[in-house]
Amino acid sequence: MNDQIGSYFQTKKGLRQLFNIAVDMLAIIIAIAKEDGQVKGVVLVEEGLSILQFPDDTIIFLDHDIDKAKNIKLLLCVFEQLSSLKINFHKSEIFFFGQAKQHELMYSSLFGCKLGSYPFRYVGIPMHFRKLSNNDWKIIEDRIEKRLSGWKGNLLSIGGRLVLINSILSSLPMFMLSFFRSQKESLENFSTIYQDFSGKTTNIRKSTN
């Protein structure tokens, strides 16, 4: 530390920054192995994609190659020894598409991971190798309706309702919309929910005149 080589120490609770440094080393190790041809990611970007990391989640991408998969497993075991961090293989999931689906049991046995199903969620976003369906967008509709259930909309003016729609409700689907193109039906459902919420005030006003 501070440009000085010190004695080894064991990571414990509260050392979140040191944990981040340690997991950064995993990405470096995999990058070196990829340059050496020992592992191969998937061609989603120009140089291939091998790993994505978020504070408590890591996704490793592999091309269908059992020998390179064995190399990845070896690198993960080496990382455990070097960092004193434990990888919970039994809590992790492994996903397949294309020809690799024919060998899913072999890969699952190699890594000791359970088979996952699509779509899976990563940083709150449903991930799939195909276009998301209306059912995949249903979670956003449910989130909007859950937020509405806690509001006493009949006590708000039209202006108050519009402020809530523009500042809160409209922002709920924006995170997913920044990554995926929504189905037409889902956009219509969002619009219907907003119109129903903003239109109630008009009906109340008509009933009181």
Average pLDDT over residues 159-179: 76
Binned at pLDDT 50, 70 and 90, residue 177 comes out as: confident
| Residue 13: pLDDT over 60 | no
* 51-54 vs 57-60, strand pairing mode: antiparallel
**What does the pLDDT look like over 98-108, one tens digit per residue?**
888 889 899 99
pLDDT at 11: 53
Looking at residue 148, what is its pLDDT? 76
Residue 209: CB atoms within 10 Å: 4
In this prediction, residue 17 has a pLDDT band, given cuts at 50, 70 and 90, of: low
Classified as helix, coil or strand, 115 is strand
Q: Which two tokens stand for residue 60?
A: 């490793």
pLDDT of residue 106: 92
Instruction: Kindly state the average pLDDT of the residues 31-59.
Output: 79
Does the pLDDT of residue 76 top 70, yes or no? yes
Structural element, H or E, at residue 127 = strand 125-127
| Distance between CA atoms of residues 184 and 163, nearest Å | 25
pLDDT at 9: 56
pLDDT of amino acid 155: 66
Q: pLDDT category, 88, cuts 50, 70, 90?
A: confident
d(CA 29, CA 31): 5
Average the pLDDT over 39-45 and give the result. Answer: 74
> Mean pLDDT across the stretch 146-155?
69
Higher pLDDT residue, 69 or 43? 69
Other beta carbons within 10 angstroms of residue 68's beta carbon come to 18
101 close to 61: Cβ distance less than 8 angstroms = no
